[in-house]
Structure 1
Amino acid sequence: MRPCLSIITVVYNNVKDIERTMLSVLEQSYPNIQYIVIDGLSTDGTLEIINQYKDRIAMIVSEKDNGIYDAMNKGLALATGDYVLFMNSGDEIYSPDTVEKVFVSSPDADIYYGETEMYDENWVSLGRRRHRSPDRLTFKSFRYGMSVSHQAIYIRRSITSPYDLQYALSADIDWILRSLKKAKRIVNTNRYVAKYMVGGMSKKKHRQSLVERFRIFTKHYGLLPNLFNHIFIAANLALYYLRHGRTND
């Protein structure tokens, strides 16, 4: 029996990118997908594009929300699949056979993960993320930064919980860490599984995002270990910037 994957797309006024994201889901070769689209009451034509594909989407919600993580919680509450994956507007599943290959990589994991390729706003590839995926993912893997992107992790729905809305920009990190603590079997698919468009609110409000991340890592790892880890992070970031001239996640 093939597990059911609930894929959730959250969008608000992104008529430029929504169709590309949706097609990356709808064109998957894997047959057992529940696709949920949560729209924040868009006014730019986004909803009209979504509705063009309504016969192929399990659920469409279009209403005002209290931010991206509130919208993601709505999707999570509607999901009934064995696993959940968030693929928000602007991002893509890597290729049409990606979900198929994720699930054949190893049976019955609590978490599957892979690598992410970064793209700019003109959809030009920037290569792999600075934080490459670890060979073996554990709860401790995030202590030096977000080692797996949100779009590249498939989590068994039964070990997930709602996003903590006290974090406006980085609740996804806390959400993944809480799931990692509960996971007994974590599988590296050893492949690219997602394409991520850089930018978003965490880049526009970078300082607030960093403060939130520090709070989250302190909560999960402790204050003193987190302080030492951030010294290491700062040194690595400076070295990376000197070598590459960019600091994409």
Structure 2
Amino acid sequence: MQPKLSVITIVYNNVKDIERTMLSVLNQTYPNIEYILIDGASGDGTKDIIYKYKSRLAQFISEPDKGIYDAMNKGLSLATGDYVLFMNSGDEIYAPVTVAEVFDTAAAADIYYGETEMFNEQWESLGQRRHHSPENFDWQSFKYGMSISHQAIYVKRSLAEPFNLEYKYSSDIDWIIRAAKNASSIVNTHSYVAKYLVGGVSKKKHLASLKERFRIFTKYYGLVPNLINHIFIAINLAQYYIRHRRTND
């Protein structure tokens, strides 16, 4: 029997992108999807677009929330699927066959993950994320940076604990690490599974986000190892920008 996937989209005042995101979910060839949409009481016409597809949604809530991760927790509490996937407004599941291909990769894994393609505000491709997905992923894989985005990871619902609201910008990293710590089988799909719109909350509050990530990594990996790892992160970042500048010259 095909596992049931709960796809959760959260949105607030994003009339420009919400339909594109919703159609990437609703147009999946995979038949066993439960689509949950959490809106933070938008007032810009977002709800009008959502209502066009309301009959195809398993759950729809529109009410004020305490931020992105509070909204994601609301979606998680409503999910009844075997797996959960967060596909927030502005992002897309990569192609109509993506979910089917993910579950065809292996049977009954605890976590499936893949690669992410980045797009700008004009929805022009910026190519692969700077942090490529690791060949083998576990809870320690974030030591050297954000290796998997939450749009590109399918987590067994039994492992999906609520997001920690102590973190405002990077709670998804903490959430993925906790799930991975409890997972016994993690499968790399070796394919693109998500399209990511750059410029989200963590980018707009970049310094605060980086500080929060440092706290999270210190919690799991220890302060001294984390400081050492950040030296490698800085070196890799410098090398990336040097290579990138050369290719653009």
Matched residues, number: 245
Q: Distance in 2 between matches of 1:189 and 1:201?
A: 27
Matched letter for residue 167 of structure 2: Y
Q: Distance in 2 between matches of 1:31 and 1:198?
A: 29
CA-to-partner distance for each residue in 1:142-175, whole Å, 9 max, x for gaps?
Answer: 1001111110000000011000001000000000
CA-to-partner distance for each residue in 1:62-81, whole Å, 9 max, x for gaps?
Answer: 00000000000000000000
Q: Is the partner of 1:34 in helix, strand or coil?
A: strand
Q: Distance in 2 between matches of 1:119 and 1:108?
A: 31
CA-to-partner distance for each residue in 1:212-239, whole Å, 9 max, x for gaps?
Answer: 0000000011111000000000111111
Give the % identical residues.
69
Q: Distance in 2 between matches of 1:200 and 1:132?
A: 19
User: Residue 205 of structure 2 corresponds to which residue in structure 1?
Assistant: 205
Q: Distance in 2 between matches of 1:65 and 1:51?
A: 20
User: How far 1:194 sits from its partner (Å)?
Assistant: 0.2
What CA RMSD, in Å, does the superposition of the two structures yield over aligned residues?
Answer: 0.6
User: Residue 101 of structure 2 corresponds to which residue in structure 1?
Assistant: 101
CA-to-partner distance for each residue in 1:43-87, whole Å, 9 max, x for gaps?
Answer: 000001001000111110000000000000000000000000000
User: Residue 8 of structure 1 corresponds to which residue in structure 2?
Assistant: 8
User: Residue 226 of structure 1 corresponds to which residue in structure 2?
Assistant: 226
Matched letter for residue 77 of structure 1: S
CA-to-partner distance for each residue in 1:101-143, whole Å, 9 max, x for gaps?
Answer: 0001100100000000000011000000000001111111110
Tell me whether 215-224 or 236-245 shows the greater mean CA deviation: 236-245
Q: Distance in 1 between matches of 2:80 and 2:2?
A: 14
Q: Given the two structures, how large is their TM-score scaled by the length of structure 1?
A: 0.98
Matched letter for residue 2 of structure 1: Q
Tell me whether 125-134 or 233-242 shows the greater mean CA deviation: 233-242
Q: Distance in 1 between matches of 2:146 and 2:107?
A: 25
Matched letter for residue 30 of structure 2: Y
User: Residue 180 of structure 1 corresponds to which residue in structure 2?
Assistant: 180
User: How far 1:241 sits from its partner (Å)?
Assistant: 1.4
Q: How does 1:162-173 map to 2 (within 5 A)?
A: 162-173=162-173
Q: Is the partner of 2:174 in helix, strand or coil?
A: helix
Q: List 4+ stretches of structure 1 deviating above 2 A.
A: none
Q: Is the partner of 2:8 in helix, strand or coil?
A: strand
Matched letter for residue 48 of structure 1: D
| Runs (5+) with no aligned partner, structure 2 | none
User: How far 1:244 sits from its partner (Å)?
Assistant: 1.4
Tell me whether 133-142 or 31-40 shows the greater mean CA deviation: 133-142
User: How far 1:243 sits from its partner (Å)?
Assistant: 1.8
| Runs (5+) with no aligned partner, structure 1 | none
User: Residue 215 of structure 2 corresponds to which residue in structure 1?
Assistant: 215
User: Residue 189 of structure 2 corresponds to which residue in structure 1?
Assistant: 189
Q: Does 2:52 match 1:52?
A: yes
Matched letter for residue 19 of structure 1: E
Tell me whether 64-73 or 133-142 shows the greater mean CA deviation: 133-142
Tell me whether 164-173 or 232-241 shows the greater mean CA deviation: 232-241
Q: Distance in 2 between matches of 1:165 and 1:242?
A: 37
User: Residue 68 of structure 1 corresponds to which residue in structure 2?
Assistant: 68
Q: Is the partner of 1:231 in helix, strand or coil?
A: helix
Q: Distance in 1 between matches of 2:44 and 2:50?
A: 12
User: How far 1:9 sits from its partner (Å)?
Assistant: 0.1
User: Residue 39 of structure 1 corresponds to which residue in structure 2?
Assistant: 39
Q: Is the partner of 1:139 in helix, strand or coil?
A: coil
User: Residue 138 of structure 1 corresponds to which residue in structure 2?
Assistant: 138
